[in-house]
Amino acid sequence: MPKKTKIPRPEYPRPQFVRRDWLCLNGPWQFEIDQGDSGLDRGLVTRPLKGRITVPFCPESKLSGVGNTDYLNAVWYRREVAIPAAWQGRRILLHFQASDYDTFAWADGTEVGRHRGGMTPFTCDLTDHATPGKKVMLVVRARDNARESMPSGKQSWVYANSGCHYTRTTGIWQTVWLEPVPLRAHLLRPKITPDVANARFSIEQPVAGAQAGLVYRARLRDARGLVSEASCACGGGLHPRLDLPVPAQRVRLWSPKDPHLYDLELELVDAATGKVVDRAQSYAGLRGLHIDGYAIKLNGQPIFQRLVLDQGYYPDGILTAPTDAALVRDIKLSRAAGFNGARLHQKVFEERFLYHADRLGYLVWGEFSDWGLNGAEPVRGWRRQDDGTVIRGDNHNGTGFPAAIIAQWLEAVQRDFNHPSIVGWCPLNETLRRQDERINHHDDVMRALFLATKQADPTRPVIDTSGYTHGLAESDVFDAHDYDQDPQTFKARHDGLLRDRPYERDDIWTKSIPWRPGQPYFVSEFGGILWNPKAKPGDAAWGYGKGPKTLEEFYTRFAGLCAALLDNPRTFGYCYTQLTDVYQEQNGIFYFDRRRKYDLRRVRAAQQRPAAIEQDKS
């Protein structure tokens, strides 16, 4: 008997919207690198591929079994899949949780879908090409030329890792799976809005194939049983909408101290027969966010956001966590160090991370992977810095923003809207623009992203861009990135906020619109203290400023930097750089492999002093 292969990352990939039947397609696939992107002409759609790969790990990673970190440009996957006979009479959907960057899929030689963007899920309908009880040949091509302008986050544009740019990710890097849904009509991902003031959840439910004669029904439950239920007619071309009230005696607000989640049962019912056409499970947290002067309040109470920058990289999986337990571990490590949340940096994290953040009470800011965008001729923009690192000449965000970024960002906001752990949105990071008399693409895209985010989600604060060049007076939040390593001068800079003079970079490339007095403010990147006693002379290890000579010097510096912001009554939070080392950037609280660097009791203690903004009783 052949040895049974263990399926990698076998857990359900979409925990906010669960159906009973599904089939995980992770594991071995045929694979071939198409360096010249000529595979379509060479017949790769219809012939076996030369190699093998373990999905969902990208070919650059060790866990994929390939480990090729060169420019790959295009890659191909091939796998024959047996469709369960029990799925007869249902529509068959092929889901990709994420594939970087332009992805095309074929079933038995016929194209069934394509998608642009490396961070968000997409679906292909196989119904006309896959027969239950029989096999279908799936073929996937992913194009990802790193030299082109595209949102890629921290993926390196040059051959090797450089500065704060890391090993690239090409092709499939999250779970691939099949799901059967009803032929007639089926539920899509709902939009669940908590309303603390009125003690209810409002649900907007998209339905594929919505038609007269169907009823949408939702039930809310907690550990004691049914809390409430409601139903409404489906059809007329509009999404069903309904409210689920929570009686006063059953109200339990979600917070980091009590991350309570209600269960949701969602059903589509045939009104004539009473038969359930489709059903799914979800969950929701009852919590409210609002801005009150300088504070961002959770459930009416100010909460200082002690955040850590989390880039979501792993030594063996790169952007993909090796196991679901690794996602949980990162949250628990962060909390052990005294942080109550994270800024999820330059990456749209996989849904299961957010699920764990929801159930563990971990605050997060959702961010897009906007770095990598450039002008029409990006290669000409590369330049070498004095330290030998290579960056784009316009530092990531020039004049050639593709329209695709808006669509991709809205896909992320739509996917993640329901997660109570998300407390803010950040579509752009460290954008630069020359301050002159012209209005350029930078201004257009920043405004479009901000307005689109506010339209998609009016319930959370949105920052126009994190650090550097703020361009919108109506941005909910103003922030700064400040890597000053001296706690005294760092404190002096940010005490200026008390005199309505917040710290900000101010030169021809980074001058922002003025901060608006009363506008929430935080330092969303600071620290970045280098510490790697094992580094050898000539190693690429780096951090911000001059690293401490001793561990005691680190503790003193870390405590002083944190105290400067905790003691400031006009600062609602901070974000320390960073949770773990990432390749050559060795300024994490933990090593890249998650081993401990510091005495976490001391790191935690430095952050536990009461924050000034939390003492405001107004």
List pLDDT tens digits, range 277-336: 999 999 999 999 999 999 999 999 999 999 999 999 999 999 999 999 999 999 999 999
What pLDDT does residue 385 have?
Answer: 46
What is the pLDDT at residue 617? Answer: 54
Task: Find the range with the poorest average confidence among 126-140, 400-414, 561-575.
Answer: 400-414
Neighbours of 117 (CB within 10 A): 24
pLDDT top residue among 614 and 602: 602
When pLDDT is cut at 50, 70 and 90, the band that residue 372 belongs to is confident
Tokens 């369960």 locate to 84
Give the separation between CA 297 and CA 461, rounded to whole angstroms.
Answer: 11
Helices 351-360 and 404-416 pack at an angle, to 10 degrees, of 40
Beta bridge partners of 429: 466
pLDDT of residue 402: 63
CATH number of 197-284: 2.60.40.10
Look at residue 509 in the predicted model and tell me its pLDDT. 65
pLDDT tops 60 at residue 1: no
The amino acid at 306 = R
Question: Which pLDDT value is given to residue 338?
Answer: 98
Output the pLDDT for position 506: 73
Give the pLDDT band (50/70/90) at residue 396: very low
pLDDT recorded at residue 5: 65
CA angle 82, 88, 93 (to 5 degrees): 65
- Would the pLDDT of 403 be above 90? no
Mean pLDDT, residues 220-234 taken together? 96
DSSP annotation of 613:
G
| DSSP annotation string for 482-529 | E----HHHHHHHHHGGGGT------STTTPPPPP-TT--EEEEEEE-B
**Residue pLDDT, tens place only, 20-44:** 999 999 999 999 999 999 999 999 9
When pLDDT is averaged across residues 175-184 and rounded to a whole number, the result is 97
Instruction: Work out the average pLDDT over 110-118.
Output: 97
Share above pLDDT 90 across residues of the chain, in percent, rounded to a whole number: 79
Tokens for 513? Answer: 């619109």
Whether 32 and 50 have beta carbons less than 8 Å apart is answered as: yes
How does residue 445 score in pLDDT terms, banded at 50, 70 and 90? confident
Residue type at position 370: D
pLDDT at residue 149 in the model:
82
pLDDT band for position 374 (cuts 50, 70, 90): low
Q: For residues 483 and 576, what is the distance between their CA atoms, to the nearest angstrom? A: 10
Q: Kindly state the percentage of the chain with pLDDT values over 70.
A: 93
Whether the CB-CB separation of 118 and 151 falls below 8 Å is answered with yes
Reading phi first (left if > 0) and then psi (alpha if -120 to 50, else beta), residue 603 is in alpha
Measured distance CA(370)–CA(297) in Å, rounded: 28
Q: What is the mean pLDDT of residues 254-270?
A: 98
Cβ–Cβ < 8 Å for 105, 134 = no
Residue with tokens 């970045």, as numbered in its chain:
528
- Residue 344 reports pLDDT greater than 90: yes
- Tell which wins on pLDDT, 184 or 415: 415
Q: pLDDT per residue over 513-529, tens digit each? A: 788 888 999 999 999 99
The Cα 146–Cα 152 span in angstroms is 8
Confidence band (pLDDT; 50, 70, 90) for 404?
A: confident
User: What burial class does residue 439 get, using C-beta atoms within 10 Å of its C-beta: 0-12 exposed, 13-18 middle, 19+ buried?
Assistant: exposed
Distances 249 to 106, 252, 265 between C-alpha atoms, Å:
53, 9, 21
Mean pLDDT (the chain) is: 91
pLDDT at site 399: 41
* pLDDT surpasses 80 at 438: no
What is the spatial distance between Cα 100 and Cα 142, in angstroms, rounded to a whole number? 7
pLDDT reported for residue 20? 96
Residue in this structure with the two tokens 């919108």, named with its chain if needed: 472
CATH fourth-level superfamily of 23-181: Galactose-binding domain-like (2.60.120.260)
Q: What's 561's DSSP letter?
A: H
Please say whether the beta carbons of 91 and 182 come within 8 A.
yes
Average pLDDT over residues 220-239: 92
The residue ranges of every structural domain in the chain are 23-181, 197-284, 289-615
* Range from 9-13, 349-353, 436-440 carrying the lowest mean pLDDT: 436-440
pLDDT of 442 reads: 74
Q: Which two tokens stand for residue 580?
A: 């773990």
Q: How much is the average pLDDT of 371-388?
A: 47
Predicted local distance difference test score (pLDDT) of residue 528? 97
Residue 389 has pLDDT above 60, yes or no: no
Q: What percent helix, strand, coil does the chain show, rounded to 5?
A: 15, 30, 50
> Which of the listed CATH numbers 3.40.50.300, 3.20.20.80, 2.40.170.20, 3.40.710.10 matches domain 289-615?
3.20.20.80
- Number of residues in the chain: 618
Q: What pLDDT band is residue 432 in, cutting at 50, 70 and 90?
A: confident
- Which pLDDT belongs to residue 615? 85
> Are the CB atoms for 326 and 314 separated by under 8 Å?
yes
- DSSP reduced 3-state for 555: helix
Helix H or strand E segment including 29: strand 27-33
* Helix, coil or strand: residue 52: strand
**Average pLDDT, integer, range 350-359:** 98
The pairing of strands 200-204 and 225-234 is: unpaired
- In the predicted structure, residue 75 carries a pLDDT above the cut 90: yes
- Can you give the C-alpha Rg of the chain in angstroms? 25
| Three-state DSSP class for residue 445 | helix
- Cβ 179 vs Cβ 269: under 8 Å: no
Q: How confident is the model at residue 401 (pLDDT cuts 50, 70, 90)?
A: low
Q: What band does 471 get if pLDDT is binned at 50, 70 and 90?
A: confident
